[in-house]
């Protein structure tokens, strides 16, 4: 089912300026839409805070801080922010739209990457974070979902929604914000986040790119947190034999549990990455990894969470604080083996572990032994409908699992624990199991389908739209699918990514419009189906003033319908001072004029005597167009 159709913002003009065309993604604090700025006629991404959070001044302040922080960075590998505003309950950021996919999409489709590909992706990520760190900011939520890979191959870091000034990192109290799989130990235990926390997250991302899986796993987020605190990230070569030892060292350095043992910031880690790469040969860089761990799926560990953390009291102790997102504790702590232990963590960790073990975000017990209810029947319902019905019955919704089913439609509830109708105490927790659909899905035939429709069909079939590339085609309309990878009819597991090749339409041979007026050039290019833009700055050129001096795509280039051709208008030729060469020999005069960029023509009256210049077509000290011809006359009899 296409939930975009049910979104009240799709199709709406927000703040009298932004026309919202489609929903791209939904996060914990905001929804991202593809939109058009109707004033500037450009496509952008609109990040809109969930209305339920707009009344929370802290969330709004964080949202606005993101806009100001990213605007200050202005880095080519950071998704830019153009505008920030609000309309009613909707607080938004207008951001750069990056057509392409996320690193998570790539990992789902490819699994582990070659070391060369992994380092090629991580290098611009570290360049972006390095700029942020040197500007005084920490990202705090680095993960594959926040690494965008454009159709043109550019890598950009997105979602600075959790950004915080470095100087305030040690003063954080209350909930810890971040994504469980990528949180540094100090973020979990103390809520602090300086640049080395981003370094740790990048080390985990590098591990995931090299192996196809996360270093720490578990049935619950609490188990993952426990491992971050107590277990070192393993060497990637333990999962992918044959990886260069230097890559193990790079991951180990970045993911050291003690912050002081890591590179101090992304700039330092970038230097270490480049040093590591320089020591690897082509065979080590292009080692093909096994794909056994491909197909990673989006879990609660991949989403930004609010984690309950004890807060110091004025008396120096700790007191639990109420937060709505609670993480259950590990059912059994993993064996530590020979892992290095961190120094004792004191009573703060003890309280945190106790709260997690009890499944509590507050220090208040509430037990009403006289109230019971029955688990409502929610099988076959959507997750949202089932959640509402369960909470309306006075129950909580606990961990949500997913499993295959030939009976229940994808995304609907296929099982609950306790079972429907079972009598339970009020405030009990009900765990849902959602259907992933059949265990095997066939790739549909999407040829000639518009891209948006093709993506909807893939999602309805239980597959994930993957990387989009574009190619010319004389048989498939522009914007429609030419082919898929895998091919139609191929069997794949649910949530597998399907790459799409989309038509750019028939190629257009770009004509030469230099020397034409802007009106003539525009008419000619638009007649070919191209879009024309005129550069604001004019340049000197041999072309007459007011005519086209240059065009962004040269004559004979191939373009797609609607592609933009930028025209640069001539100011006319540059005027250059002409030297006085009368009385000079022919050769001296020629040399002086050519040094100023002029062409030289010699005029001799016959018969003539000697080789002395007696006159010139442009008097010395006057001006003439650069590159024009100056005629010199030689003395006759």
What SS3 class is residue 450?
Answer: strand
Mean pLDDT across 259-287: 94
- Measured CA to CA, the distance from residue 65 to residue 61 in angstroms comes to 6
In a 10 Å sphere around its CB, with 0-12 CB exposed, 13-18 middle and 19+ buried, how is residue 19 labelled? middle
SS3 label, residue 635: strand
3-state SS assignment for residue 497: strand
Neighbour-count burial for 90-114, b at 16+ CB within 10 Å, e otherwise: bbbbbbbbbebbbbbbbbbbbbbbb
> Is the pTM above the cut of 0.75?
no
Helix (H, G, I), strand (E, B) or coil at 454: helix
The model's confidence at residue 452, banded by pLDDT at 50, 70 and 90, is very high
- pLDDT tens digits for 552-585? 999 889 999 999 999 999 998 888 999 999 989 9
**The two three-digit tokens of residue 298, written as one number:** 């989006």
pLDDT tens digits, one per residue of 375-404: 888 888 899 999 999 998 889 998 888 888
Selected residue with higher pLDDT from 602 and 373: 602
Kindly report the number of other CB atoms within 10 A of residue 7's CB atom. Answer: 16
| Pairwise pLDDT comparison (188 vs 453), residue with the higher score | 453
Residue partners of 38: CB distance under 8 A and separation at least 6: 13, 17, 18, 19
Instruction: Tell how strand 413-417 and strand 608-616 pair up.
Output: unpaired
CA-to-CA distance for 157 and 79, rounded, in angstroms? 6
Catalytic residue among 2, 15, 141, 152: 141
Residue 348 is predicted with a pLDDT of: 35
Contact 405, 440 (CB under 8 A): no
Strands of the sheet containing 413-417, edge to edge, are 396-403, 429-435, 413-417
Active site residue 141: yes
pLDDT at 294: 40
Least confidently predicted of 120-124, 428-432, 516-520: 428-432
Full DSSP string of 533-569: EE-SS-B--SSPTTBEEEESS-TT-EE-TT-EEEEEE
| Lowest-pLDDT choice from 180-184, 241-245, 341-345 | 341-345
> Is the model more confident about 495 or about 294?
495
- pLDDT above 70 covers what percent of the chain? 81
Q: Give the integer Cα–Cα distance in Å for 585 and 79.
A: 63
pLDDT band at 41 (very low <50, low <70, confident <90, very high): confident
**Which residues partner with 165 through β-bridges?**
137
pLDDT tens, 103-159? 998 998 888 999 999 999 999 999 999 998 988 888 888 999 999 998 888 999 988
Residue 369 has pLDDT above 80, yes or no: no
| Separation in Å, CA 616 to CA 313, 579, 591, 594, 612 | 93, 10, 14, 14, 11
**pLDDT digit string (tens) for 415-429?**
899 888 788 887 889
As a whole number, mean pLDDT of residues 538-546 equals: 90
Question: CA 171: distance to chain centroid?
Answer: 29
Mean pLDDT of the chain: 81
pLDDT value of residue 344: 38
Q: Which tops the pLDDT comparison, 345 or 571? A: 571
The candidate with the shortest Cα–Cα distance to 589, out of 565, 553, 615, 627, is: 615
- Lowest mean pLDDT of 359-368, 480-489, 523-532, name the range: 359-368
Separation in Å, CA 56 to CA 49, 62, 490: 11, 10, 48
Structure tokens at 121: 């992706």
Confidence of residue 598 (pLDDT cuts 50, 70, 90): very high
Query: What integer pLDDT is reported at residue 313 of this predicted model?
Result: 34
User: Which tens digits make up the pLDDT trace of 293-338?
Assistant: 443 444 444 544 444 443 333 333 332 222 223 333 333 333 333 3
Q: Which domains does the chain have, with CATH numbers?
A: 3-96 (3.30.200.20), 100-314+332-358 (1.10.510.10), 372-435 (3.30.10.20), 441-503 (3.30.10.20), 508-569 (3.30.10.20), 575-636 (3.30.10.20)
pLDDT of amino acid 408: 78
- Residue 191: what pLDDT? 77
Return the closest-CA partner of residue 377 out of 366, 385, 369.
385
């Amino acid at each position: 089912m296409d939930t975009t159709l049910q979104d009240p913002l799709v199709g709406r003009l927000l703040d009298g300026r932004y026309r919202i065309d489609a929903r791209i993604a939904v996060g914990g604090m905001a929804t991202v839409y593809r939109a058009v700025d109707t004033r500037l006629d450009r496509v952008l991404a609109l990040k809109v805070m969930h209305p339920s959070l707009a009344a929370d001044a802290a969330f709004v302040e964080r949202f606005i801080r993101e806009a100001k922080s990213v605007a200050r960075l202005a880095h080519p590998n950071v998704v830019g922010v153009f505008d920030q505003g609000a309309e009613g309950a909707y607080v938004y950021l207008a951001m750069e739209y990056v057509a392409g996919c996320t690193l998570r999409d790539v990992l789902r489709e490819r699994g582990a990457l070659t070391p060369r590909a992994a380092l090629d992706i991580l290098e611009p990520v570290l360049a972006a974070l390095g700029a942020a760190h040197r500007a005084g900011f920490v990202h705090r939520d680095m993960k594959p979902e926040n690494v965008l890979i454009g159709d043109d191959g550019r890598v950009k870091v997105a979602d600075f929604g959790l950004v915080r000034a470095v100087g305030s990192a040690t003063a954080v109290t209350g909930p810890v914000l971040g994504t469980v799989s990528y949180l540094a130990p100090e973020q979990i235990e103390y809520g602090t986040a300086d640049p080395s926390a981003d370094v740790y997250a990048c080390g985990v991302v590098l591990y995931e790119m090299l192996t196809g899986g996360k270093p720490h796993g578990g049935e619950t987020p609490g188990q993952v947190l426990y491992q971050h605190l107590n277990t070192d990230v393993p060497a990637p070569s333990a999962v992918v034999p044959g990886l260069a030892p230097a890559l193990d060292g790079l991951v180990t350095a970045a993911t050291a549990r003690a912050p002081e043992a890591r590179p101090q910031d992304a700039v330092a880690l970038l230097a270490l990455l480049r040093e590591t790469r320089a020591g690897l040969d082509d065979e080590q860089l292009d080692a093909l990894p096994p794909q056994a761990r491909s197909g990673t799926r989006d879990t609660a560990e991949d989403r930004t969470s609010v984690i309950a953390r004890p807060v110091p009291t004025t008396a120096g102790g700790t007191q639990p604080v109420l937060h709505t997102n609670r993480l259950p504790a590990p059912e059994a702590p993993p064996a530590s083996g020979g892992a290095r232990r961190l120094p004792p963590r004191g009573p703060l960790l003890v309280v945190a572990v106790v709260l997690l073990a009890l499944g509590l975000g507050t220090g208040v017990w509430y037990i009403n032994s006289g109230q019971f209810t029955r688990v409502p029947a929610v099988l076959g319902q959507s997750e949202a409908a089932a959640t509402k019905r369960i909470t309306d019955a006075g129950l909580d919704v606990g961990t949500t699992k997913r499993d295959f089913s030939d009976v229940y439609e994808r995304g609907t509830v296929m099982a609950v624990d306790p079972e429907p109708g079972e009598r339970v105490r009020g405030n009990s927790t009900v765990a849902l199991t959602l259907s992933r659909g059949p265990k095997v899905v066939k790739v549909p035939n999407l040829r000639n389908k518009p891209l948006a429709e093709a993506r909807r069909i893939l999602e309805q079939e239980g597959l994930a739209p993957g990387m989009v590339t574009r190619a010319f085609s004389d048989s498939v309309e522009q914007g429609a699918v030419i082919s898929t990878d895998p091919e139609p009819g191929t069997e794949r597991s649910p949530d597998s990514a399907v790459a799409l090749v989309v038509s750019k339409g028939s190629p257009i041979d770009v004509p030469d419009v230099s020397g034409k007026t802007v009106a003539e050039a525009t008419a000619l290019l638009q007649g070919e189906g191209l879009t024309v833009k005129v550069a604001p700055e004019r340049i000197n050129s041999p072309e007459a003033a007011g005519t086209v001096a240059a065009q962004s795509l040269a004559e004979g280039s191939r373009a797609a319908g609607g592609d933009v051709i930028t025209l640069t208008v001539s100011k006319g030729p540059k005027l250059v001072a002409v030297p006085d060469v009368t009385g000079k020999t022919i050769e001296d005069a020629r040399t002086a004029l050519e040094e100023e960029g002029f062409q030289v023509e010699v005029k001799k009256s016959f018969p003539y005597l000697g080789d002395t210049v007696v006159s010139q077509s442009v008097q010395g000290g006057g001006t003439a167009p650069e590159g024009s011809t100056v005629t010199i006359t030689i003395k006759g009899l």
